[in-house]
A and B are shown apart, each in its own frame.
Chain A
Amino acid sequence: MGSDLVSSKNFDLKSVIHYARFGRVLKQNKRLFLVQILLYITSSFYFISHLELISYYLSNFSLHFIKSTITKREVVGGFSLYFLSLPGRLPTFTEDLVAFLSTLAILLINYRTNLLPKPFKIWVNFLAIILMISSLYFIFFSYIFPYTLDDFSLLYVIAQVGIMSFIPALVGVSLALFNFSWWVLLTNFFIVSLILVYSFVFGAVRYAIFLYTLKNYSFLWMANMFFNFGPLLDMIYISGIYAFYVSLLSKKTRQSIKVWRWIY
């Protein structure tokens, strides 16, 4: 057969490839792919089985920022969790009224003018609408407001440890698609770890800030903390670190013979 006639391998001096983007495909190491999938999904389950420990460290780390508080423990859905306990307060009528009027003004200004680019305008409107609903709620129904600051604190911890447990599965499984070498497995692991550390630090600081705000500036802000500054914010650093890493990976490997193949 022709293929074994004359070896041309030593002839092709190319150290890079230029496969057109329409048909290039990543080389796959199925073993490394499965190892990563297994590792990160197991990690998520491992974290879930250690929620108590994570909540303990999270609460204690937050204690550095907000000192006038104590740590409590409660069992929720079979999981024992630590959280910070401190008293909060309901908003006063004046605070409600100011919040209502300010948000009304913001909504009107946004409706009438184009001071902000549209996506920011919609985001600000969303903030304002939630604050407005909160203020109206507290004006008329503050006596039946169902939560204490402890409730919020515990639920924040549930949300944050939930996110941290979810990160290895979400980011790890996404990064597992890059499995063309052993070193990329290590860098993937480093990135997942980095995101976890970031999540822990950011989660703890945010926890302290939220508690401080609710304690000193009332429960008026609670709904927004949940809907606007809750888990959605976690996607910012997750996608930010992921994107930075993949951009570096792309630049380094865009013409590498070891990474690409053609069509199949």
Chain B
Amino acid sequence: MDLLIISLKVYLILLVFIISLYIIRHYFFTYNRAFAEQKVAYHDVLDSDLPSVSVLIPMHNEEKVADHILSALIGQEYPKDRMEIIPINDHSTDGTKEILDEYAKKYSFIKPLHRIGDEPRGKPAGLNDALKVAKGEIVVIYDADYIPPKGQLRELVINFIDPWVGVTMGRVVPINTSTNMLTRLLDLERAAGYQVDQQARYNLDLIPQYGGTVGAFRKDLVLKLGGFDQRILAEDTELTFRLYIKGYKVVYVNRAECYEEAPEDWNVRARQIRRWSQGHNQVLFKYLIPLWRFDLSLWQKIDGTLLLMIYAVPFLLLLGIADSLLLFFLGEMEILASFWILLAVLAYNSFGNFAPFFQIGMAGFLDGVGERLRLLPFFYFIFLFNAWYTSLGFLDAIKTTITGKQAIWHKTERFRKNG
């Protein structure tokens, strides 16, 4: 019994230590983004010799949004003879195919790829197929609900004048902020994630993350590395680590802002976060040890480890709660009184919303927003929600890693109304 109690207490102390590391990391990022010299991407470079580009748009039943993204891409200020658009119709059963064919008739640079029959479904599989037919030197990926501004292709692609750059990533901004409380909270969460987190990691030469959309990469490089790993749901995070290990860099372009549609329904959000967690944890299992073997700086290794673990810690946190409950009923409330305080406060700070309150506050301040910041205390209610679905994703990742089964791709439902 004594051994059990000691183990439970040690676990709690370790957990508090790990979470404290995250808090320190986020404070450091917030400080860096607020005051330090900002490393800007290459978007100030004007060059008439732009590389050829293939824009890939994975689509599964996207009739609500297909028209918007295609119109936005057609309006891009990028030489049309240097670009092609490949919408990947991935087994759609709605009117997506017809919309794409209609566009293809009007614009020769739109070349839909229809995936039907027995071909495996899912974003990584679709992207791999599209990479085989894409002709551009650079591949840009947008999810179907995105609406890129007119100059964005150039802003993303120009960064490849630097031969060290393997991937570029832009900033994601929810367009449907006003819909309900969920979208408003996601708006704050995204701001903290991009405006502070990604930019600080880019400033500090750590590991900014490629998010799989509003981003671009060198086609030949990714093909040489074997394309996307179809067994992994977070193909974007996987690519980030694969490229860093090979010595390439991710450029985060805070200027390249693009609207996305945030989930408007808690069930959709739950599925999304569970899928992200599953994919991210698959990457954790694959890269945690290799990361330390390769030629990266110590800080990149530390940051990479913390980044890899970000979707595992909520699971550890839930275990911590169970651990605390056991200690409580075993009569060990004294340790709880001292450690539960820290655990709870730090846990809320860091994982109530994937960003501590001061990081969200600073992101909003830098964005110049006002009253929307007042929704911050509502993150209290999604603390357990996030922890629960992230933990389920963690367990899914363990299951697929052990069984070697193909992870199932659940597409995020769209909510956009016409017009």
Q: A and B: direct contact (Cβ < 8 Å)?
A: yes
Known A122-B388, A147-B331, A247-B373; judge A232-B344 contact (CB<8 A): yes
Q: Is A68 an interface residue (CB 8 A)?
A: no
One of A52-60, A84-92, A238-246 contacting the partner:
A238-246
User: Do residues B35 and A25 form an inter-chain contact, with CB atoms below 8 A?
Assistant: yes
Some 12 contacts from A to B, beta carbons below 8 A apart, are A20-B255, A118-B267, A126-B384, A166-B345, A170-B349, A177-B358, A226-B340, A235-B377, A239-B379, A250-B364, A255-B368, A263-B40
Q: How far is the CA of A151 from the CA of B374 in the complex (A)?
A: 37
Q: Could you list which residues of chain B lie within 8 angstroms of chain A, going by C-beta atoms?
A: 27, 30-31, 34-38, 40, 171, 195, 254-255, 257, 266-267, 269-270, 321, 324-325, 328-331, 333-334, 336-338, 340-341, 344-345, 348-349, 352, 357-358, 361-362, 364-377, 379-385, 388
Query: Are A232 and B348 also in contact (CB < 8 A) when A119-B382, A122-B388 are?
Result: yes
A151, B334: Cα distance in complex, Å: 9
The answer on a CB contact under 8 Å between B270 and A177 is: no
Interface residue stretch chosen among A5-13, A157-165, A198-206, A208-216: A157-165
Helix, strand, loop or mixed for chain B's interface?
helix
The answer to whether A258 has its CB under 8 Å from any CB of chain B is no
For A263, list chain B residues within 8 Å (CB).
37-38, 40
Report whether B361 and A174 are in contact in the complex, using a CB–CB cutoff of 8 Å: yes
Does A21 belong to the interface (CB within 8 Å)?
yes
B341 contacts A166, C-beta separation under 8 Å: yes
- The CA-CA distance from A155 to B334 in the complex, in Å, is 7
Within 8 Å CB of B30, what residues of A? 177
Contacts of B370 in A (CB 8 A): 247, 250-251, 254
Q: Whole-angstrom distance between the alpha carbons of A229 and B266 in the complex?
A: 24
Closest to B194 in A: A22
A235 lies within 8 A of B270 (CB): no
Is residue A51 within 8 Å, beta carbon to beta carbon, of the partner chain? no
Please indicate the chain A residues that have their CB under 8 angstroms from the CB of B357 in the complex. Answer: 174, 235, 238-239, 242-243
Nearest B residue to A160, CB-CB: B341
When distances are taken between beta carbons in the complex, the residues of chain A under 8 Å from B369 are 247, 250
Q: Judging by beta carbons under 8 Å apart, are A250 and B373 in contact?
A: yes
- Report, as a range, how many residues of chain A touch the other chain: 35 or more
A78 at the interface (CB under 8 A from B): no
Indicate if A221 sits at the interface (CB-CB under 8 A): no
Interface contact B348-A21, CB-CB below 8 Å: no
Query: Which 5 pairs from chain A and chain B are nearest by CB?
Result: A146-B331, A243-B376, A264-B37, A174-B358, A118-B266
Report A-chain residues with C-beta under 8 Å of the C-beta of B34. 25-26, 28, 177
Q: Which of A5-56 contact B (CB under 8 A)?
A: 20-26, 28
Minimum CB–CB distance from A256 to chain B (whole Å) comes to: 11
For residue A173, CB closer than 8 A to chain B, the reply is yes
Nearest-CB distance from A116 to chain B (Å)? 10
Which residue on A lies nearest to B353, using beta carbons? A239
User: Does A96 belong to the interface (CB within 8 Å)?
Assistant: no
- Inter-chain CA distance A200–B177, complex, in Å, is 36
Quick one: CB contact mask for A131-157 with B, threshold 8 Å, 1 for yes? 001000100010000110001100100
How far is the CB of B344 from the nearest CB of chain A, in Å? 4
With A159-B337, A232-B348, A246-B361 known as contacts, the answer to whether A22 contacts B377 (CB < 8 A) is: no
A119 touches B368 (CB 8 A): no
The interface residues of chain A, by DSSP majority, are classed as helix
Q: Does A66 contact B (CB under 8 A)?
A: no
Nearest CB of chain B from residue A264's CB, rounded to whole Å? 4
What residues of A have a CB within 8 angstroms of the CB of B325 in the complex?
130, 133, 223, 227
Known: A177-B362, A227-B325, A243-B375. A120 touches B381 (CB 8 A): yes
Task: Find out whether the CB atom of A244 lies under 8 angstroms from the CB atom of B374.
Answer: yes
Q: How far is the CB of B88 from chain A (nearest CB, A)?
A: 30
4 additional contacts, CB 8 Å, given A152-B333, A163-B341? A117-B266, A119-B385, A235-B352, A264-B36
A118 with B385: CB separation less than 8 A: yes
Chain B residues near A227 (CB, 8 Å)?
321, 324-325, 328, 340
Q: Are A158 and B267 in contact, CB atoms less than 8 angstroms apart? A: no
Q: Which residues of A contact B267 (CB under 8 A)?
A: 118
Assess A26 versus B35: contact at CB under 8 Å? Given A230-B340, A254-B368.
yes
Q: In angstroms, how far is the closest chain B Cβ from the Cβ of A47?
A: 14
Of the residues A117, A141, A223, A230, contact of B344 by C-beta under 8 Å: A230
CA distance A247 to B377 in the complex (A): 13
Q: Which of A22, A117, A137, A151 counts the most chain B CB atoms within 10 A?
A: A22
For A158, the chain B residues whose CB sits under 8 A away are 337-338
B383 CB contacts on chain A under 8 angstroms? 232
Q: Is A93 an interface residue (CB 8 A)?
A: no
A249 interfacial contact with B, CB 8 Å? yes
Which one, A147, A155, A235, A237, contacts B348 given CB within 8 A? A235
User: In the complex, are the beta carbons of B366 and A246 less than 8 A apart?
Assistant: no
A141–B384 CA distance with the chains assembled, in angstroms? 29
- From A117, A163, A242, B361 is in contact (CB under 8 Å) with A242
* A22–B270 CB distance below 8 A: no
Shortest CB distance B110–A (Å): 30
B368 to chain A, nearest CB (A): 4
Are A246 and B365 neighbours in the complex by a CB distance under 8 Å?
A: yes
Residues of B within 8 A of A28 (CB): 34-35
Give the distance in Å from the alpha carbon of A162 to the alpha carbon of B349 in the complex.
17
In the complex, what distance in Å separates the CA atom of A178 from the CA atom of B349?
Answer: 19
